[in-house]
Amino acid sequence: MDPEARRRACVVFRAKLSRDTGLNLPAAVCEGLLDTTYEKCGGGEEVSLQSNPGQFYTCLGRVIADLELPSLVLPDNLKVALWCYREAAEVYTHPRGMHSLAWCYDNGQGVTKDPAQAAVWFQRAADLGDAHSKATLGSLFLYGDARAGVVKDAARGLTLFREAVDLGHDPALYHSAT
DSSP 99-117: HHHHHHHHHTSSS---HHH
Same domain, residue pair 54 and 122: no
Same domain, residue pair 2 and 34: yes
pTM over cut 0.75: yes
Same domain, residue pair 51 and 126: no
Cα atoms in the 13 Å half-sphere on the side-chain side of 78: 9
Mean pLDDT of the chain: 86
Rounded mean pLDDT of 36-45? 68
Helix (H/G/I), strand (E/B), else coil: 123: helix
| Domains of the chain: total | 2
In the chain, % of residues over pLDDT 90: 51
Nearest to residue 13, comparing CAs of 1, 139, 32, 2? Answer: 32
With respect to residue 35, please indicate whether it lies within any of the assigned structural domains: yes
Domain of residue 145 covers: 108-178
Q: How far is CA 46 from CA 80, 87, 141, in A?
A: 23, 19, 37
Same domain, residue pair 54 and 78: yes
Q: Does 174 score more than 50 pLDDT?
A: yes
Report the Cα 27 to chain-centroid distance in Å.
24
Rounded mean pLDDT of 100-119? 95
Is the CB of residue 32 less than 8 Å from the CB of residue 25? Answer: no
Is the CB of residue 59 less than 8 Å from the CB of residue 38? Answer: no
Rounded mean pLDDT of 161-167? 94
Same domain, residue pair 43 and 85: yes
- Give the pLDDT band (50/70/90) at residue 152: very high
Which tens digit of pLDDT belongs to each residue from 69-90?
444 556 678 888 999 999 999 9
Is the CB of residue 21 less than 8 Å from the CB of residue 79? Answer: yes
Q: Can you give the pLDDT at residue 80?
A: 86
Q: Can you give the pLDDT at residue 51?
A: 77
Q: How far is CA 30 from CA 51, 84, 125, in A?
A: 18, 13, 28
Q: Considering 58, 92, 126, which residue would you say is the last residue of a domain?
A: 92
Full DSSP string of 59-97: HHHHHHHTTS-TT---TTHHHHHHHHHHIIIIIT--HHH
Q: Can you give the pLDDT at residue 45?
A: 58
For residue 178, give the DSSP letter.
-
